Structure 1
Amino acid sequence: MAEETSSFRDRFRGIPKSIGFIWTFEFMERFSYYGNQAVLTLFLLESLSFDDDTTTAIFHAFKFATYFTPILGAILADSWQGKYRSIIGLSIVYCLGHVMFTMSGLIGRAPYPIPGGIAQAKAPVAMIGLALLSVGIGGRKPCVSSFGGDQFKEGQAKQLGVFFSLFYLAINIGAFLSQLITPVLRNDVQCFGHDCFALAFGVPLVVMTLGTVLFVLGTYTYKKRPAAGNLLVLVTKAMANAIKNRCNRSKSESRDHWMDYCDTNIYSPRLVGDIKLVLHVMIMFLPLPIYWTLFSQQGSRWTLQAYRMDGDAGALGTIQPDQIQSLNPLLIIILIPIFQGAIYPLLEKCRILRSPLQRMCTGMALSSVAYIITGVIQLKIQSYVPVLPAEGTAGLRVVNMAPGCSLTPVFMPPIDLTTKFKSPIPYMDQTALKDIPVGQHTMDFSCSSGPVQNLTAYSVDLESQKIYTVIVSDKNAQLSAPQPYTTRGEKPEKSDPMMRLIYLSDPSNLTPDRMVNVKIQSLDVSDQHHVFYNVTENAATEYVVKGPGTFQVEVQYHVNGSLQTKDVSQTYLAKNGGVYTIVVYGSTQLNLTSFSDVEPNRLNILWQVPQYFVITVGEVLFSITGLEFSYSQAPKSMKAVMQAAWLLTIAFGNLITVVVAKSRLIQDQAVEFFMFAVLMAVMTAIFIVMSHFYKYNVIPPDEEDGDEMTKYRTEPKETAKLME
C-alpha cells in the first residue's frame, strides 16, 4: 500500500507551477463557453424571435465554426505568433464576442425609449458576437492543451498523463457548473421586466476576462516555444503535390498508393509514410460526423424539447429547460471513474468490447437508442398539443359559475354532433365542444338542481377556426351569460404561460362606470408583474405573456371615480405552455377564480433523463475511446494533424444539422428524431463493417526526440524552405 501511495504522489511531484495557471484558465474558459451555449438557444428563440428551425440552424452554424477554426488557430500559433501570444490574442477576441452578446441582451430591454435603428441592431450585434466567439473559442482550442504539454520535460510521462486527466476534468466541471448556474441567472433575475440574458452572458464575460488576466499573470512561469512552422500546412502541400503528380502521370505508371506520387526531392519520404498512416485512420472517420450530428443537438433540439415540458421536479425544485443540459457533464464526471475502475475490467474478463473500434461501435449504437427515446417522448409531447377547429367549424367552451347548479347546455334546434358536451357541468368546471358548424346558433341552459330560472334563446355567432367561451352565472336565481369571449386555443409560441382577465358583471348591482384594476404579481420574481387598468364590466383583456411560477392577483375597484380597495387577493400557479383566464366576479364582495384555456405542459422534464443517460454512456464509449484510438494510431509527429481531423468530424456533424434544420424537409419533430436514429443505425452498421476489415497501424518508434517539424527537415533541404 505504501508503494502505491508513493507512486500516486510521484505522479504529481515535479508538475510545473505553470500548470496551475493553465488548468484554472481552461476551467474558467469552459465555464464561459458552456455558460454562453446553455442559454443561447432560448436567447435566439425568445429575445431574437427566431423560430425553432432557424434557432437550431444558427446554434449549429456557431458550433460548426467553433470546431472548424481550430485549424486556423493551429496555423496562427505554429507558423506565426507561437502558442502563448496566440492564446492571449484569441482570448481577447473571445472576450469581445462576449461583450457583443451582453450588449445584444441589453438592447431593447432598457427602461428608456430606444431608437428604432438601435433596436433593429439587436440581431446583427448578436451575430457579430457569435462570429467573434467562434474565432476566439475555436482558435485557442488546439493551443491551450498543447501549450500545457510544452511545460513538461522529457521523462515526465506520468505527470503529463495527470495533466491531461485534470484538463478533461476542468472541462467537465466548468461545463456542469455553468450549465447549472447561467439558466438560473437568466430566469430568476429580471432585467427591466424580462429574462435577464444580459446577466447570463455578462457572467461568462467576467469569468473569461478574469481567466485571461490570470493566464497573463503566469507569464514568467511558462516555457514558450517559438513558432516552428505548421505541420498541417506542410501535410496539405505534400498531399496536393501527390494529387498533382498523379493526375499528370503517364498511363503506364502505377504505384501502390496515391501518396507515393509525392515528389521525394521536395518532401521527406518519412513525411510521405506518416501521411499514409494518417490517411489509413482518417478513412475510418468518414461515418463519424453523423454521430456528432446527434450528440450536439443536446444544446438545440433537446433544449427546445425541454422547453415544452413541465420543469417541476418536486423536491429538486424547478428545472429550467436550458439547465437540463448539465446532466451530460455531471454524468461524465460520474461515469468515467466507474468505466475505468469497474466496467472496462469486467469487459476484459468477459472478453467483449475489448478493442477501441468495438467500443466506438457500441457508443454509436447507443446514440441511436437515445434518439429513439427522444422521438417517443416527442410523440407524447405532441399528443398534448391542442388542435384548432377545422375549416368551416368552430369550438365552444361553457363555464359553469352558477353556485349550486349542475349546468346542462343544449343547442336549439339540436345539432347532431358525435362529440357531446360533458353534461351536466359541475359548478366551477368547464366543458368543450369541437367541430360546430359556423354561423348563428341558439342555446338553452338549465340547472338539473336548485330553483334557478333557465337561460333560453342565448345566441352565439361562431366564426371559422375560432374558439369561444361562454360563462354562465347565477344572477338573483336567474341564469345569465354575457356574449361569448374569443378564446385562445393554441399553446404559446414561446412556451411561457399567457394570462388574460375577464371582469364579470353582476346585474343585481349594476352601475354604468364600475371598473377594476387588477395587478398580477409574480411571487417568484419580485419585479415581474402586470397591471390591468380600468377593466370594464363583461370585458376581456388581451392575453399577456408571463414567466412561469406562482402569481398573486390583487383587485382594486372604483365606482363613480372613487377608488375603493377591495380585500381580494389570491394566488395561482402558471406553468409553461398554459393559457389562463382569470375571472373577477361578485357584487358586494369581489371574488377571483381561474380557468385553463389551454392546459400547461404535462410531460415532466425528468423524462429526458433516460435519453441523457444513454447518450452520455455512448459518449464515454465513443468520444473518449475515439480520441485514444486516433492518438494511438497516429505517428508521434502527426498527432496534431489527427486531432485536427477529429475536430473536423465534429464540425461537419454540426453542418449536417444546419442543412437539415434550414431545409425544413421534415415538419414533424418526432419524425426528425426517428430519422436521425435510423441514419445513425445505418452508419453504425457501416462502421462495424469497416472496423472488421481495419488493420491497426504499426507505428515505428521515433528515432529522434524533439520538435515534430525537425524530423521532416532531416532529409531533402527543399523541405526546410517549404516550412519557413
Structure 2
Amino acid sequence: MNVLTANTSQKLIIQVTFFAAIVGGIMCDIKYGRYGTLAWFFPIYFVGQALITFSPLIPLPGFFHPYFDFFALFLLSYGCGCIKAVLVAYGADQFKPPNVTQIGCFFALFYSLEQFSIIFGIYLLPIIKFFFSQIPTDKPSLNVLSLATFLLLTSIVILFGTSNYFYKFIPQNKNQNIFIKSFKIIKQSLINKYRRKPLITSTKQPTPKYLLEYFLIDHNCQRDRECDFGRKNICEQTKFIGELQTVIQISFVLLPLSIFWALRTKLISINISQLQNIDTKLPFIGQLPFLPSDQICCLLQPIFVILLLPLFYMFIFKSPSISQCLSINTYLRRIFIGIFLCSVACFCSANIQKLLLSSNNNLLIKSTEDFTLIKLFNLFPSKCSFSISKINSKENFVIIEANNSNIFSLKSEDLNAGYVDLLFRFNGSSCSSHRKNLLRIWLNSATNNQFNIALVGPQGIFFTSLDIKNTKTNGPSNYL
C-alpha cells in the first residue's frame, strides 16, 4: 500500500464515521427513535468488530483479504458513527421532566468516565497482552481482539436486557424529514427577504432581526397543521425556527473542531515515532514509577480534561453569579467555554510533550551521506521477527525482533525511477500466516526533509513518508 492509498483510505474511514453520525441522527428523529437506532446499529458495529477480529482465520484468497478488511472497517466506522449521535441523547432522555442540572451532571460524568476509560486502558492493555502472551498460541494478538469483541457483545446484551427499565423516545412526526424542512425554511426566508420586502412595509411588521425570521412574515398559524392554534396558541414554526437558529450558531462555534480533527489525523504517524523516542524522565523530578514509559504522552490529554471538567461544571456552570459576571448565562456561550477549556487541556498536553521531547537529542537521526533512512517498527507482540532487504540483494538486510524497531538505509543508486522494492521475510509462529512479503515504496532522493516510517504488524504493512522542516547540516541529509 503506497502513501496516497493509505492516506486516502484513512480519510475515507473518517468521513464515513462522521457521515454516519448524520444518518444516525436522521433515523433517530424520523423513524426509529433513540433506542431503535441503537438496536439497529449496535449489531452492525459488532459484526464489523467480529470480522476485523477473526479475518486472519477466514480462508480467503490473498488478493481478496484487503477488500474483506476494508468492508469490515466500513461496517465498524458506520456503526460507530450512527451510535455516537444517539448514545448520549438516549441517556439524557431518562431525566423526566427535563432537569438542566441533572442533565449537565450526566454529561460531565459521561465524558469523565470516557477519559477514565482511556487511562484505565493504557494501564490494562499491557497486562492483557502479557497474560495472553503466556497462553500457548500462535496468534496472541487475536486473543486481545477477541476480548474486545467479547466486551462489546456484553455491552449489547446489557443494553437490550435493561431496555424495559428505561424511557424510549418515540418521534412524533415520523414522516417529516428535519433536513428537508430546514432547507425549505432557509430557502423561503431568502425569498421573503429579497423578493417580498414590500410585504413587510404594507403590513407594517417590524423588520426581522435574523434571516430565518423572514419566513414568518407570511406565515398563518390557522392554515398550518403543525401549529396548535386555538387551544394553546402555540406557533410550531416559531419554535422550530428558534431551535434551528441555535443549531446554526452552535455549528459556527464547532466549526474549528473539524479543522482540528483534520490536522490531528496528519499527526498520527509522527506521534507513533515520538512515543518510541521520548525521554520519560520529568525535569527536576525524574522517572515516576506509576507512569508507563511508552504511554506518558497519551495520558496527558485525558488527565487535563478530567481536571478541567469539574472546574467548568462546579465553578462556572452551576454558579449563577460567575455565569452572569462572565456573560455565559446561555447554553451557546457555555458550550463555547467548554470547548475553550478542552483546547486549554490540549495546549497543556502539547507543551508538556514538547518539554519531554526536548530533553532527548536522538529523536532525529541525521545522515551526512547520500542515504535515505527508513525506521521500521515490529508491532507483533511476540514470537515474530522479520528481515528486510532489497529485492535483488542477499547481503544488505536488517533483522527486527518482536516489539522492537530498527533503521534500514538506502542509497540513491538503489532507487529505480523513484521507487524501490523491499522484501520482508517473516519468522515465527505469530506471523506464520502473514501474506504480505513484498512492498514497493516511492522515495524522493533529491529532498532531505522526508520522515520515513514503516509499521509492520498483524494487520499488514503501513508505510508513510512525512515532510518535516529542513535543518541546516554539512551536506544532504534525511531525518528520522
TM-score, normalised via structure 2 length: 0.60
- 1:115-143 Cα offsets, whole Å, 9 max, x none, are xx633333322222221122211212232
User: Which whole-Å CA distance do the structure 2 matches of 1:333 and 1:286 have between them?
Assistant: 24
Q: Secondary structure at the match of 2:86?
A: helix
- 1:387-434 Cα offsets, whole Å, 9 max, x none, are 2622xxxxxxxxxxxxxxxxxxxxxxxxxxxxxxxxxxxxxxxxxxxx
Within a 5 Å distance, the mapping from 1:170-569 to structure 2 comes to 170-182=113-125, 185=128, 189=132, 196-229=140-173, 231-243=178-190, 249=195, 256=208, 257-262=210-215, 264-265=219-220, 268-294=237-263, 301-309=270-278, 315-316=289-290, 319-320=293-294, 324-337=297-310, 355=328, 356=334, 357=336, 360=339, 364=343, 367=346, 377=357, 384-387=364-367, 389-390=369-370, 490-494=373-377, 525=382, 527-528=383-384, 542-548=397-403
Whose strand proportion is higher, 1 or 2? 1
Q: Secondary structure at the match of 1:154?
A: coil
Query: How much does 1:208 deviate?
Result: 1.0
What residue is the counterpart of 2:94 in the other structure?
A: 151
- 1:503-534 Cα offsets, whole Å, 9 max, x none, are xxxxxxxxxxxxxxxxxxxxx95x45789xxx
User: Which whole-Å CA distance do the structure 1 matches of 2:118 and 2:397 have between them?
Assistant: 41
User: Which whole-Å CA distance do the structure 2 matches of 1:252 and 1:99 have between them?
Assistant: 63
- 1:310-343 Cα offsets, whole Å, 9 max, x none, are 789784586446x853443344334434665689
User: Which whole-Å CA distance do the structure 2 matches of 1:317 and 1:168 have between them?
Assistant: 22
- 1:484-510 Cα offsets, whole Å, 9 max, x none, are xxxxx945333679xxxxxxxxxxxxx
**Alpha carbons of 1:59 and 1:529: their partners in 2 closer, same or farther (altered >3 Å)?**
closer
Q: Which amino acid aligns with 2:365?
A: V
What residue is the counterpart of 2:45 in the other structure?
A: 94
**Alpha carbons of 1:189 and 1:328: their partners in 2 closer, same or farther (altered >3 Å)?**
farther
Q: Secondary structure at the match of 1:75?
A: helix
What residue is the counterpart of 1:561 in the other structure?
A: none
Is the 1:70–1:142 Cα contact (8 Å) retained in structure 2?
A: yes
Does 2:468 align with 1:668? yes
Structure 2 spans left out of the alignment, 5+ residues: 201-206, 225-235, 282-286, 329-333, 388-393, 409-462, 472-480
Query: How much does 1:214 deviate?
Result: 1.1
**Alpha carbons of 1:50 and 1:372: their partners in 2 closer, same or farther (altered >3 Å)?**
farther
Is the 1:353–1:359 Cα contact (8 Å) retained in structure 2?
A: no
Q: Secondary structure at the match of 1:547?
A: coil
User: Which whole-Å CA distance do the structure 1 matches of 2:362 and 2:131 have between them?
Assistant: 28
Is the 1:298–1:325 Cα contact (8 Å) retained in structure 2?
A: no
Q: Which has the higher contact order (CA 8 A, sep 6+)?
A: 1
User: Which whole-Å CA distance do the structure 1 matches of 2:275 and 2:155 have between them?
Assistant: 32
Q: Secondary structure at the match of 2:29?
A: helix
Structure 1 spans left out of the alignment, 5+ residues: 1-48, 108-113, 391-464, 466-488, 498-523, 532-538, 549-574, 580-661, 672-724
Query: How much does 1:223 deviate?
Result: 2.2
User: Which whole-Å CA distance do the structure 2 matches of 1:77 and 1:339 have between them?
Assistant: 30
Q: Secondary structure at the match of 2:171?
A: coil
Query: How much does 1:95 deviate?
Result: 0.1
What RMSD over aligned residues (CA atoms) do the two structures have, in Å?
A: 4.9
Query: How much does 1:361 deviate?
Result: 5.1
Q: Secondary structure at the match of 1:96?
A: helix
Q: Secondary structure at the match of 1:120?
A: coil
**Alpha carbons of 1:670 and 1:272: their partners in 2 closer, same or farther (altered >3 Å)?**
farther
**Alpha carbons of 1:540 and 1:91: their partners in 2 closer, same or farther (altered >3 Å)?**
same
| Residue of structure 1 aligned with 2:21, choices 42, 67, 70 | 70
Is the 1:177–1:326 Cα contact (8 Å) retained in structure 2?
A: no
Q: Which amino acid aligns with 1:163?
A: F
Is the 1:76–1:82 Cα contact (8 Å) retained in structure 2?
A: yes
Q: Which has the larger radius of gyration?
A: 1
Query: How much does 1:217 deviate?
Result: 0.9
Is the 1:69–1:138 Cα contact (8 Å) retained in structure 2?
A: yes
- 1:29-83 Cα offsets, whole Å, 9 max, x none, are xxxxxxxxxxxxxxxxxxxx665x7656644543443333222112112211222
Identity of aligned residues (%): 18
User: Which whole-Å CA distance do the structure 1 matches of 2:353 and 2:24 have between them?
Assistant: 36
Q: State the number of aligned residues.
A: 371
User: Which whole-Å CA distance do the structure 2 matches of 1:224 and 1:259 have between them?
Assistant: 32
What residue is the counterpart of 2:427 in the other structure?
A: none
User: Which whole-Å CA distance do the structure 1 matches of 2:97 and 2:129 have between them?
Assistant: 47
Is the 1:75–1:233 Cα contact (8 Å) retained in structure 2?
A: no
Is the 1:86–1:143 Cα contact (8 Å) retained in structure 2?
A: yes
Q: Which amino acid aligns with 1:220?
A: N
Q: Which amino acid aligns with 1:264?
A: H
